[in-house]
Amino acid sequence: MNGRRNKALGYTYEVATRDYLSPAFPKVKRNGSMYGANDRGDLGGVPGWTLQCKNTQQDRWLEWFTKTEQQAANNKTRWWAVIRKMRGKAVELSLFVMTLEQGRELMAHLRELEKQIKKLKAQVKELEHDHSGEAAPPRVRPSA
């Protein structure tokens, strides 16, 4: 495959990935080459993330991870991932790949957020209960 065709396939995949993510992340955008030597990944506008898209015949995971990790440093994001196109599959079936170290950190982070949400829900329920007696209108008994 020639370089121009490879570039076109990459561009097309980046656009498809951006379009797939946009309902959940309305500000997602293609970065293209706007950052030059300070590359920040293929997709921007997903808070806290650097995303690198790959649509190639050969896998080069170590190279991709090394570059994407550097792009995340340039982008000052905590999280990064390589999104790898699966041959003959729709974009939503792409692989979303990060190191196990990052995966463990992400799972622990999500667990902490779930604990915080549970506590907040309990606090809201307690506040609703505490205030339910104050806001209740006086009961009027019907005449007999």
Q: What is the pLDDT at residue 143?
A: 63
State the amino acid at position 86 in one-letter form. Answer: M
Q: What angle do CA 123, 129, 130 make, to 5 degrees?
A: 90
CA-based nearest residue to 33, from 11, 6, 4? 11
Q: What is the pLDDT at residue 139?
A: 62
Helix (H) or strand (E) holding 41: none
CA distances in angstroms from 113 to 2, 15, 23, 67, 123, listed in the order given: 46, 31, 23, 29, 15
Give me the tens of pLDDT residue by residue for the chain, a chain 144 residues long: 577 887 888 899 999 999 999 999 999 999 977 676 777 899 999 999 999 999 999 999 999 999 999 999 999 999 999 999 999 999 999 999 999 999 999 999 999 999 999 999 999 988 988 887 655 555 666 665
Extents of the domains making up the chain: 3-98, 100-131
